[in-house]
Amino acid sequence: MRRRRNLLALTALSAVDSTALQIVPKRKRGDALHSCIDRSPLGTNRLAEAQQEHQQLLAGAVARNAAVVLSLPGDGLVRHFLTRFIGDDSGGIWVELVTAADAQLQDLSKSNQLVAGSFHTKDQRVTFFTTVATLDPAYKSNDQLTVPAVCLRHPTDIRSRLREVSSPAVQAA
């Protein structure tokens, strides 16, 4: 016997045009639960506002040199490296290079594979996906400091989630 699932209205942006596909549950007599697709224009302003908010969260993290976790695929595994944002320019976002990830980042820049980055704001965890543009062993972050760095292209896929707080002690901090 097939299980009946309680479908909620699901909204997804259509790649073909700027209308939304809304899956609405539809019940037929004697049949299982069916879905019908309803095309209705969705407020594209909300989508644009969300994308702009994500870009602002990323720009704020870069401006304050926030910590970022880079997730690098390679050899069938994904390795995670904790590092910091250094700066931003027209070429992309500069991140301090972890020496253990140097060879892996060079391979990723040649193969143009995706790299994931994740950082925290006050109440959100933000994740982005991008590719490696260049590596610079002597990047000048300011007049006095030169560090090895990697330039990540400006990401177009940025996502955010509300952070979950697990205990009252964490909430007070």
Write out the two tokens for 4: 């009946």
Q: Return d(Cα 162, Cα 38) in angstroms, integer.
A: 29
Tell me the pLDDT band of 100, cut-offs 50, 70 and 90: confident
The answer to whether 158 and 54 have CB atoms below 8 angstroms apart is: yes
Tell me the pLDDT band of 171, cut-offs 50, 70 and 90: low
Q: Return d(Cα 75, Cα 56) in angstroms, integer.
A: 34
The answer to whether 59 and 66 have CB atoms below 8 angstroms apart is: no
The pTM for the full model equals: 0.67
Q: Return d(Cα 126, Cα 4) in angstroms, integer.
A: 35
Write out the two tokens for 68: 């970022």
Q: Where are the beta strands (DSSP E) in the chain?
A: 10-13, 20-27, 33-40, 67-74, 77-89, 92-96, 114-120, 124-140, 146-152, 157-162
Domains delineated in the chain: 10-42 (no CATH), 47-162 (2.30.110.10)
Confidence (pLDDT) at 168: 59
